[in-house]
Structure 1
Amino acid sequence: MTTQRGSGVSRRSALRTVGVAALGGVAGCVGDGAAPVSLLSAGSLARTFEDHIGPAFEDATGHRLDGEYYGSNAVMRRVEDDLAVPDVITSADATLLRDRLYGTVTDWDVAFASNSLGVAYNPETAVGQRLADGTPWYTVAAESEPGVIAISDPDLDPLGYRAVMAFELAAAEHDLSNFRERLLQRVYREPAEPQLLAGVESGGRAAAIAYKNMAIEHDLPFVAFPPAYNFGRLAFADHYATVEYTTDDGYTATGRPVIYNATVHQDASNPAAGRQLVQFLIDNPTLLTDTGLTVGPQLPRPHGTPPEAITV
């Protein structure tokens, strides 16, 4: 079990990592009046897009990024119910997007980054002090007061249902009796994923099950889960698949590695710029890794048949 301190990445340093020619000479070809790109994205990427990718993309192309951020299952529901028709859609669960949106709003996507789970915490709280002292997270969590540790709502967000799955896998890994059930009786379920760590930052909550990049973006200490239940290792895919969670709308998610993917809505109002944004994610892995995401040797990779404008 390792503890590490998040370190924020400034807009200026992020921009240094992106060449103006990153999109093959697109920069300089569009003026200040270029139409914005609308984005409906996994909430765990909110600060990544708003503070880093968005400014760098605008600097390179002239297109401003207009983003909305929810749990990925909530993103899919908004698209399915025609509540939003964004240019670009991203998900923190690649299979979720394919299961819910293929055949209706898209037939392709590009997987571009991965992530891993752990506990982000406030070191000034009693729970945080125990974690900082090296007490196993599962001991601290099992002995915590109700409501002081948060998870994202598992019915709205893959981070939430992965937290529930992690509790189940951790119980088997550490021989913990009724661990999943005990934790689900104690944790607070945050319905708005982008707000998951706000309460931890303020001290209103002591800790939250979060992705590594979220802890880094919020400059919070982070106890990394081991590979057996951090959902960050492709080599553990079969092990992760031994657990599942069914959301309140009937979608059954099987445990799988955290893979982010992106696609362009078939009815996008600005599809060309949407494809440029997807290509920007492909072409700038350093910008992603600087914010705490992982881009391994198997990423990026296409699924389905991306348009010719997308080169992976």
Structure 2
Amino acid sequence: MKKTTILIFFVIGSILLAGCVNVGNQQENKKIVLKIFHAGSLSVPFEEYSKMFEKEHPNIVVEREPAGSVTCVRKIIDLHENADVLAVADYSLIPKMMMPKYADWYIMFARNEIVLAYTNKSKYHSEINEKNWYKILERKDVKIGFSNPNDDPCGYRAQMVLKLADLYYNQPIYETLVLNNSNIHVENKNNSYIIVVPKDLKVNTNKIIMRSKETDLLAPLEAGACDYLFIYKSVAEQHHLNYVTLPKEINLGYYQYSNIYSKVKVYLESTNKSIEGKPIVYGITVPKNAQHKKEGIEFVKFILEHPEILEKNGQPPMNVAVGNVPEELRNLVKIENG
């Protein structure tokens, strides 16, 4: 009887011990999920960064959620979703929409410019060039594409580029292409043009193809449903698209033309925000509600330490920071007053 009792206790003890070991192994094997909200135009370099980061940090799984930059911010401030890293295609969205409640620092980490992308399926692709591009777009059978300005910086930047084209060429390009084919309107105040984008934006789909973010327009472009697309140069290069380089005075890519870019503003009724035309600069931060702040900062540090990834993807790197920059990043950036 005693032997039987001892045997029973031995079996029970072995089971409990095995259970403890199994739980311990599960905890040891459980990985941190690093959640990143980022602009669609950062998808290619961030995929590469994520794979490299995971390789160096085997305890971390990077989960990326690409979307229009405004949408990324809204998921944090309106829907109260948690992100460990936020990277947007317009750095000013962070100070305007997130600081000080949801963020207290950001880094301007890359640049870009707007180009007019097309494929060999695009109508009149053999004719278009840097001098006649807007005349080609004005043809009745040509469809143009841009992302929704309410959701995506590339969308409101496309509006800026087209309005700046009015001034540069002294032609009613914006009226012909956009105002006559949407419920957007323009106000002129002291030689500054304000493009007013309604919350419920409507476009003539016979002329304009619009999606939430710019990368969603790649499929219709490549299928021939859209002829020409206003998009970042980096995205055009990453997807091996043909493109027309637009004049420096209108493509939002050069600091020396900041004064010209600032003549145009976009007012978004959806957010009650006014955005001034300026050079395209990406911003990145670790939101205050991040669940894994330490790892989020480590990911940002990883990006700053590997600028070659951005460079080869057509997004020249920067390292200018504003705000309460984490100590781990201070020796990698130039800190400026916000």
* Bin for the TM-score computed over the shorter chain: 0.7 to 0.9
Task: Indicate which of 299, 302, 322 corresponds to 1:303.
Answer: 322
Aligned partner of 2:174: which letter? Answer: R
Aligned partner of 1:129: which letter? Answer: S
Cα pair 2:109 2:283 within 8 Å, conserved: yes
Q: Which has the higher strand share?
A: 2
| 1:87 lines up with 2:108 in the alignment | no
After superposition, give the CA deviation of every residue in 1:267-287 in whole Å (9 maximum; x if it has no partner).
Answer: 211111100111112111111
Q: Distance in 2 between matches of 1:189 and 1:124?
A: 19
Unaligned runs of 5+ in 1: 1-30
How far 1:64 moved relative to its partner? Answer: 2.7
What corresponds to 2:314 in structure 1? Answer: 292
| 1:266 lines up with 2:288 in the alignment | yes
Q: Distance in 2 between matches of 1:134 and 1:32?
A: 56
CA shift in 2, pair 1:33/1:160, >3 Å:
same
Task: Indicate which of 112, 123, 141 corresponds to 2:120.
Answer: 123
What corresponds to 1:150 in structure 2? Answer: 145
Q: Distance in 2 between matches of 1:116 and 1:192?
A: 16
What corresponds to 2:163 in structure 1? Answer: 168
How far 1:204 moved relative to its partner? Answer: 2.0
Task: Indicate which of 169, 192, 206 corresponds to 2:213.
Answer: 192
Cα pair 1:127 1:144 within 8 Å, conserved: no
What corresponds to 2:3 in structure 1? Answer: none
Q: Distance in 1 between matches of 2:61 and 2:245?
A: 34
How far 1:116 moved relative to its partner? Answer: 0.5
Larger gyration radius, structure 1 or structure 2: 2
How far 1:151 moved relative to its partner? Answer: 0.4
Query: Which secondary structure state, in structure 2, belongs to the residue aligned with residue 130 of structure 1?
Result: coil
Q: Distance in 2 between matches of 1:126 and 1:270?
A: 49
Aligned partner of 1:273: which letter? Answer: E
Task: Indicate which of 69, 73, 97 corresponds to 1:72.
Answer: 69
The size of the alignment, in residue pairs, is 275
Cα pair 1:94 1:261 within 8 Å, conserved: yes
Cα pair 2:130 2:244 within 8 Å, conserved: no
Q: Distance in 1 between matches of 2:41 and 2:138?
A: 25
After superposition, give the CA deviation of every residue in 1:163-207 in whole Å (9 maximum; x if it has no partner).
Answer: 101111111111112x11211123222123331212112222112
Structure showing greater relative contact order (alpha-carbon pairs closer than 8 Å, 6 or more residues apart): 1
After superposition, give the CA deviation of every residue in 1:74-123 in whole Å (9 maximum; x if it has no partner).
Answer: 11221111342110011111112210001111110111100000111012
| 1:37 lines up with 2:34 in the alignment | yes
Q: Distance in 2 between matches of 1:108 and 1:302?
A: 7
| 1:230 lines up with 2:251 in the alignment | yes
What corresponds to 2:240 in structure 1? Answer: 219
Q: Distance in 2 between matches of 1:32 and 1:242?
A: 55
Q: Percent sequence identity over matched residues?
A: 27
Q: Distance in 2 between matches of 1:85 and 1:310?
A: 22
Which deviates further from its counterpart, 194-203 or 91-100? Answer: 194-203
Q: Distance in 2 between matches of 1:284 and 1:228?
A: 31
How far 1:134 moved relative to its partner? Answer: 6.2
Q: Distance in 2 between matches of 1:292 and 1:144?
A: 33
What corresponds to 1:60 in structure 2? Answer: 56
Unaligned runs of 5+ in 2: 1-27, 182-206, 333-338
Q: Distance in 2 between matches of 1:33 and 1:120?
A: 44
Task: Indicate which of 227, 251, 276 corresponds to 2:273.
Answer: 251
Query: Which secondary structure state, in structure 1, belongs to the residue aligned with residue 32 of structure 2?
Result: coil
Q: Distance in 2 between matches of 1:245 and 1:239?
A: 15
Cα pair 1:165 1:243 within 8 Å, conserved: yes
Q: Distance in 1 between matches of 2:293 and 2:153?
A: 27
After superposition, give the CA deviation of every residue in 1:2-47 in whole Å (9 maximum; x if it has no partner).
Answer: xxxxxxxxxxxxxxxxxxxxxxxxxxxxx97541311111111123
Aligned partner of 1:82: which letter? Answer: L
Q: Distance in 1 between matches of 2:147 and 2:297?
A: 30
Aligned partner of 1:123: which letter? Answer: N
